[in-house]
Amino acid sequence: MAVYTEISSDELAAFVAGYDIGTVLSVKGIAEGVENSNFLLVTEKGPFILTLYEKRVDADDLPFFLGLMEHLAAKGIPCPLPVRDRAGSALGTVAGRPAAIITFLSGVWIRRPRREHCAALGAALAGLHLAAADFPLSRPNALSVAGWRKLFEASAPRADEVVPGLAAEIAGELAAIEKAWPASLPSGVIHADLFPDNVFFLGDRLSGLIDFYFACNDMLAYDIAVCINSWCFEPDDSLNVTKAKALLDGYVRVRPLGADEIAALPLLCRGSALRFLLTRLHDWLNVPPGALVVPKNPREYLNKLRFHQRARSAAAYGLSA
């Protein structure tokens, strides 16, 4: 359960009193999510999400995250909108943690995405990239290629406990990616974590994009690679090319890709798979005693990485040059 900090009823009432959203009717912890403490907050004016930002989130980044949501919402992107208190601030403090109240989005996330969900996701991702093009703030991607070696070195001594030979395999792949990683592809604000549980649907209609707390500035096509890895593989870790093609077709209908982005797609997918392999490996090997959040198995992204290593062009994902 992703509730790391509990709130007393008195603390909550005092915090909510600073907002024009009425009195609290109920509050319930939300089990999903791994970075912050999230609560479904119901007041006299309806449901909201209350988020307490835990220690893994740098408080200095919060103006970027909250400002980005406001910017995107103003451009028509279906994302949560931070609620400002009576003093005009979108960020407060409760239970010793930075905290924000954001609007509630209706919808459910899709456990087994179909082709049409992938197409809608691709179009929404391209729309997000275009809408964020004039967002005035920036934030470097701390989990891009420059940060992967440090992540690997923290887990390398025990990596073979997960898969025999894993440390050597990652070391070789990391060196290859560091050498080949592109430096001049179109860049801007990306979501960087648009997994299926961060996208809501009402039926087959995409109704919301949530959880912008990994958003940053990086290559736009890298964001596509993150989505291919998280949306287009089946439970046996095989790529569903039909889903990948639908995602890419949905994207290019809104924002066409350049030839350089298309050519780099297999490498970007490899990098994305390595990034999530490394973070999952770290969490898998460092579960704190009594933790209620079950870490995700890193083997999934090892299998995806091996697929991308065999891909010779974007045609492997259903996209022609």
Would you place residue 1 in the very low, low, confident or very high pLDDT band (cuts 50, 70, 90)? very low
pTM across the whole model: 0.93
Q: How confident is the model over 88-146, as pLDDT tens digits? A: 999 999 988 999 999 999 999 999 999 999 999 999 999 999 999 999 999 999 999 99
Q: What domains can be seen in the chain, in order of their start residue?
A: 9-103 (3.30.200.20), 115-317 (3.90.1200.10)
For position 58, what pLDDT does the model report? Answer: 85
- How far apart (Å, rounded) are the C-alpha atoms in residues 67 and 290? 35
List pLDDT tens digits, range 238-284. 999 999 999 999 999 999 999 999 999 999 999 999 999 999 999 99
Which spans in the chain are helix H?
9-16, 62-74, 115-131, 145-155, 166-180, 220-231, 241-254, 259-285, 299-310
pLDDT band at 36 (very low <50, low <70, confident <90, very high): confident
Q: What percent of the chain has pLDDT over 90?
A: 86
Structure tokens at 192: 């960087």
Distance of CA 264 to the CA centre of its chain: 21
Helix or strand holding residue 26 (H, E)? strand 24-29
Is 156 within 8 Å of 167 (Cβ atoms)? yes
In the predicted model, is pLDDT for residue 304 greater than 60? yes
Residue 182 predicted with pLDDT over 90? yes
Q: What is the pLDDT of residue 242?
A: 98
Check residue 300 and give its pLDDT: 97
Cβ contact 277:301 at 8 Å: yes
- Is the backbone of residue 77 left (phi > 0), alpha (psi -120 to 50) or beta? beta
The end-to-end CA distance of the chain, in Å, is 44
Strands 187-190 and 216-219: antiparallel
The helix/strand count (H/E) of the chain reads as 9, 9
Dist CA 63 CA 90 (whole Å): 9
